[in-house]
């Protein structure tokens, strides 16, 4: 990563192009179609070349029948050679190349080529596989068409002709040690006396169920990470331990990780697993383990939203659900078989690097009561995390335009975050920090739907500004238009205390999903503290340590928020640079 001064450093990038180890259904179908078209083209070219050869032979025979007696039978002139023999050789070469799957480029960490899927019927036939995970792998009760331990492992084994498909998943198994000894890594260890062609891992659901801390990976490459240094009580530490031991115990196996689909059961963080998913992806990449990311496959999750059809309880697939999932995992296994994936890891920025990035920068802050900091008794209203970031990280200047009870949607009146943005016009800032949503949720403003409009076809008249989503689209469009050169971020705040919140403020997950979706569309970086279990456990809004009313931070709360937001600003800025 290159900083503004040109010095190269190793900062974590929020926007780097990740190696894609999985394909959506549409990409798979498109790739298969291209492969079949190549085969058809090869056949056509082969037939054409044969026809040309036969035509050439026929032309030579005809010529020999009509030529003078001194002409050698079958002899061709140079023109005949260039017109028949060379084209047939070229077409044969083209046909061979088109039908040979080894000539298709596959992605590496620095490429973005979509690989042509392998044929799982051919690749998996006769192979052996070990499947480890939790109740979703075990399929103990909800796969009513089959006995326990069938699920997707049994379907893949039987449908694709594998010789062994051993399912050792266990109900309640976790990646961290939040469930004691019932861990996925113990399944790996207990079955290591047998060699397998594949070891397919899954897990993390029960960690999210228990709101277990995510933690952070050891800030070293995999080759330098010491197992003794891992915090096994966190998802990150448990996953590093799992991948390390799997690679060590099964050195010749193809190892893959299945990241589960989105769930609808409202327990723990099951409906808000993005932070867990990001950690799993990052750690799999660190250890060079490919993953199948069903969680971020929009088309797959659209199908799975039909919970009664595919999910027994909003979490566990039923028989129809396993029927739907199995081909995805089979295709994933075929695609990764025998391939090497280079470990890739970018360590977090150090405090010194963060200060180096932020020093001498300018920033504007817009938002509601949380950004306005009306409860910051140590420094007064208007200071909050904005003032702390400026003082602690050396900003050249900052302005806090936030207002008490400001809303995103104009339905509640003129006190909107957009009004702040428009009122600050004329300023030039390195950072623009947005916030908002608490006031809308507290007053139960209708959620609405994030539009599909982009900057090219934006039409404000088509927005429903009486909804939160409509106001959000308007705010983000105006901000990115007015500050095209700034690093713009949106801070989604922690979970308020449900017993103290009014309206929908205690159940803001749908508002948060809208913010993430809109930010992704408008290219605005989103710091989502709402679904971050580690931060919410540290902040502990139910106690009075960091908030006096269970909703707004006090001075101690802003002391916790400031470094988290500062880190996100620095990482986002470094990624753009």
pLDDT digits (tens, 9 = 90+) for 337-371: 999 999 999 899 999 999 999 999 999 999 999 99
**How many CB atoms are closer than 10 A to CB 159?**
15
Sheet holding 164-167, edge to edge: 164-167, 128-132, 198-202, 254-259, 291-293
Are residues 279 and 516 in contact, defined by beta-carbon separation less than 8 angstroms? Answer: no
**Residue 277 Cα distances to 185, 190, 220, angstroms:** 18, 26, 20
Nearest to 571 by CA among 18, 11, 4, 5: 11
Helix (H) or strand (E) holding 202: strand 198-202
CA distance 320 to 64: 69
Nearest to 204 by CA among 98, 132, 264, 145: 132
- Percentage of residues in the chain having pLDDT higher than 70: 79
Record the tokens describing residue 396, joined without a space.
Answer: 């050249």
How would residue 61 be classed by pLDDT, with cut points 50, 70 and 90?
very low
Helix (H) or strand (E) holding 384: helix 384-393
Q: Say if residue 77's pLDDT is above 80.
A: no
Q: Say if residue 2's pLDDT is above 50.
A: no
Q: Say if residue 6's pLDDT is above 70.
A: no
Four-point Cα dihedral 142, 145, 150, 151, nearest 10: -60
Are residues 416 and 406 in contact, defined by beta-carbon separation less than 8 angstroms? Answer: yes
DSSP 227: G
Task: Assign 47 to helix, strand or coil.
Answer: helix
How would residue 87 be classed by pLDDT, with cut points 50, 70 and 90?
very low
Are residues 504 and 498 in contact, defined by beta-carbon separation less than 8 angstroms? Answer: no
Span 217-226, average pLDDT: 94
Handedness of CA 377, 383, 385, 390 (dihedral sign): negative
Q: Which residues contact 133 (CB under 8 A, 6 or more apart)?
A: 169, 173, 184, 187, 201, 202, 203, 258
CA distance 280 to 293: 10
What is the pTM for the complete model shown?
Answer: 0.70
Strand runs (DSSP E) across 359-418, as ranges? 362-365, 397-400
DSSP 156: H
CA distance 73 to 63: 8
Please report the pLDDT score of residue 31 as a whole number: 46
Q: Which residues contact 360 (CB under 8 A, 6 or more apart)?
A: 394, 395, 396
HEC assignment per residue over 83-138? HHHHHHHHHHHHHHHHHCHHHCCCCCCCCCCCCCCCCHHHHCCCCEEEEECCHHHH
Listing DSSP states for 2-42 in one string gives: B-TTS-B--PPPSS---------HHHHHHHHHHHHHHHHHH
Are residues 124 and 326 in contact, defined by beta-carbon separation less than 8 angstroms? Answer: no
What are φ and ψ of residue 78, in 5° steps? Answer: -55, -35
Span 200-206, average pLDDT: 97
Please report the pLDDT score of residue 542 as a whole number: 78
Cα 448 to its chain centre, rounded Å, is 25
Span 141-155, average pLDDT: 90
Give the pLDDT confidence of 229-251 residue by residue, as tens digits. Answer: 999 999 999 999 999 999 999 99
Please report the pLDDT score of residue 534 as a whole number: 84
Please report the pLDDT score of residue 536 as a whole number: 87
Span 492-515, average pLDDT: 88
Please report the pLDDT score of residue 498 as a whole number: 85
User: Crossing angle of helices 555-576/351-358, nearest 10°?
Assistant: 70
Are residues 98 and 39 in contact, defined by beta-carbon separation less than 8 angstroms? Answer: yes
Q: Return the bridge partners of 311, or none.
A: 317
CA distance 405 to 438: 8
Q: Which residues contact 280 (CB under 8 A, 6 or more apart)?
A: 204, 235, 239, 257, 259, 291
Q: Say if residue 316's pLDDT is above 60.
A: yes
Span 480-489, average pLDDT: 96
Q: Which residues contact 420 (CB under 8 A, 6 or more apart)?
A: 366, 367, 401, 402, 403, 406
Task: Assign 166 to helix, strand or coil.
Answer: strand
CA distance 279 to 570: 19
Span 429-442, average pLDDT: 96
CA distance 74 to 395: 87
Please report the pLDDT score of residue 307 as a whole number: 61
**Residue 76 Cα distances to 58, 69, 70, 80, 416, angstroms:** 12, 15, 14, 6, 85
CA distance 256 to 254: 7
How would residue 55 be classed by pLDDT, with cut points 50, 70 and 90?
low
Residue 161 region by backbone torsions, left for phi larger than 0, else alpha for psi between -120 and 50, else beta: left
CA distance 39 to 128: 30
Q: Say if residue 86's pLDDT is above 50.
A: no
Q: Which residues contact 19 (CB under 8 A, 6 or more apart)?
A: 107, 108, 109, 285, 341, 344
């Amino acid at each position: 990563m290159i900083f503004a001064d040109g010095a190269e450093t190793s900062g974590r990038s929020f926007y780097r192009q990740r190696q894609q180890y999985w394909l959506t259904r549409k990409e798979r179908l498109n790739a298969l179609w291209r492969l079949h078209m190549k085969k058809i083209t090869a056949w056509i070219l082969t037939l054409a070349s044969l026809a040309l050869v036969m035509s050439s032979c026929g032309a030579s025979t005809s010529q020999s029948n009509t030529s003078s007696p001194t002409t050698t039978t079958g002899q061709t002139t140079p023109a005949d050679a260039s017109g028949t023999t060379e084209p047939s050789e070229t077409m044969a070469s083209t046909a061979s190349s088109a039908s040979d799957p080894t000539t298709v480029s596959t992605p590496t960490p620095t490429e973005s080529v979509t690989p042509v899927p392998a044929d799982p019927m051919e690749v998996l036939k006769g192979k052996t596989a070990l499947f480890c995970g939790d109740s979703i792998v075990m399929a103990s009760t909800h796969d009513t068409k089959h006995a326990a331990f069938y699920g997707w492992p049994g379907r893949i084994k039987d449908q694709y002709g594998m010789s062994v498909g051993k399912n050792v998943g266990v109900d309640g198994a976790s990646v961290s040690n939040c469930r004691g000894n019932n861990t996925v890594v113990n399944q790996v260890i207990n079955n290591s006396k047998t060699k397998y062609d594949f070891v397919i891992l899954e897990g993390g659901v029960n960690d999210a169920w228990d709101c277990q801390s995510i933690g952070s990976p050891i800030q070293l490459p995999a080759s330098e990470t010491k197992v003794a240094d891992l915090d096994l009580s966190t998802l990150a530490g448990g996953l590093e331990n799992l991948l390390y031991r799997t690679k060590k115990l099964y050195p010749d196996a193809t190892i893959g990780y299945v990241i589960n689909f989105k769930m609808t059961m409202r327990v723990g963080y099951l409906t808000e697993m993005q932070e867990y998913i990001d950690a799993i992806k990052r750690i799999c990449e660190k250890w060079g383990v490919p993953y199948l990311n069903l969680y971020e496959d929009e088309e797959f999750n659209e199908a799975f939203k039909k919970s009664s059809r595919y999910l027994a309880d909003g979490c566990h697939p039923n028989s129809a659900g396993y029927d739907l999932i199995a081909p995805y995992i089979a295709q994933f296994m075929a695609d990764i078989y025998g391939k090497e994936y280079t470990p890739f890891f970018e360590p977090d920025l150090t405090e010194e690097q963060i200060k180096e990035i932020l020093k001498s920068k300018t920033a504007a802050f817009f938002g509601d009561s949380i950004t306005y900091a009306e409860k910051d008794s140590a420094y007064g209203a208007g200071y909050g995390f904005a003032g702390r970031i400026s003082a602690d990280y050396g900003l050249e200047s900052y302005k806090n335009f936030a207002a008490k009870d400001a809303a995103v949607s104009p339905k509640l009146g003129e006190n909107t975050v957009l009004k702040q943005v428009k009122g600050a016009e004329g300023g030039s800032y390195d950072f623009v920090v947005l916030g908002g949503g608490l006031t809308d949720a507290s007053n139960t403003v209708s959620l609405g739907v994030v539009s599909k409009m982009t900057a090219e076809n934006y039409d404000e008249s088509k927005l429903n500004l009486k909804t939160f989503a409509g106001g959000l689209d308007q705010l983000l469009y105006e901000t990115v238009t007015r500050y095209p050169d700034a690093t713009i971020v949106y801070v989604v705040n922690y979970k308020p205390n449900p017993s103290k919140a009014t309206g929908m403020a205690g159940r803001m997950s749908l508002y948060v999903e809208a913010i993430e979706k809109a930010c992704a569309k408008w290219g605005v970086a989103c710091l989502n503290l709402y679904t971050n279990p580690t931060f919410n456990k540290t902040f502990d809004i139910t106690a009075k340590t960091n908030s006096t009313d269970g909703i707004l931070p006090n001075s101690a709360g802003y002391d916790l928020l400031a470094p988290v937001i500062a880190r996100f600003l620095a990482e986002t800025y470094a990624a753009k640079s």
